[in-house]
Amino acid sequence: MPCACLPLCWPDNSSIVCCWCVQTGGRKLVKVALVYDEHRLHFSLATCADKTSNTQLLPGDAAVLRSTATETVYQVHLVFTGGLFGHFTQMIVFDFGQRPLVARKVVAELGDLKMQERVQVLRDKLTFNR
């Protein structure tokens, strides 16, 4: 499930849309969900048909891009809206109706690149000290 635009640093007040195309080869996508609550106001899910939707839970049927007898291709848009400096994380989960679930951690870093590098050094020191 490629997403070529993550993770990256973006300038302040940016809005980014990433798109996953998921080929299932016969497995049905039941739903897609965003699970982290802390930064949920900055992330939302959308579809090709309705790129303006702002939801945390998307039914699999709403994400169908094309379907044949042998495979279905789903397309899911993950929308990130910034507005302030910081580090934002979210987990996008693809549920195919059976275990294991497929998940991907998404990270957005907003702010000046030099400041982000300094913050990362401080985070690394905090992690090391624990």
Residue 128 has pLDDT above 50, yes or no: yes
Share of the chain above pLDDT 90, in %: 3
Beta strands in the chain (DSSP E): 8-10, 15-23, 31-34, 43-46, 57-59, 64-67, 72-81, 86-95, 102-110
Question: For the domain with range 8-129, which CATH number is right: 2.60.40, 2.60.120, 3.10.450, 3.40.50?
Answer: 2.60.40
C-alpha angle with apex 72: 34 to 53, nearest 5 degrees?
35
pTM of the model: 0.70
pLDDT band of 59, cuts 50, 70, 90: confident
What value does the mean pLDDT of the chain take?
Answer: 76
Q: Where are the domains of the chain?
A: 8-129
Determine the Cα–Cα distance for residues 11 and 13; give it in Å rounded to an integer: 7
If pLDDT is split at 50, 70 and 90, which confidence band does 3 have?
very low
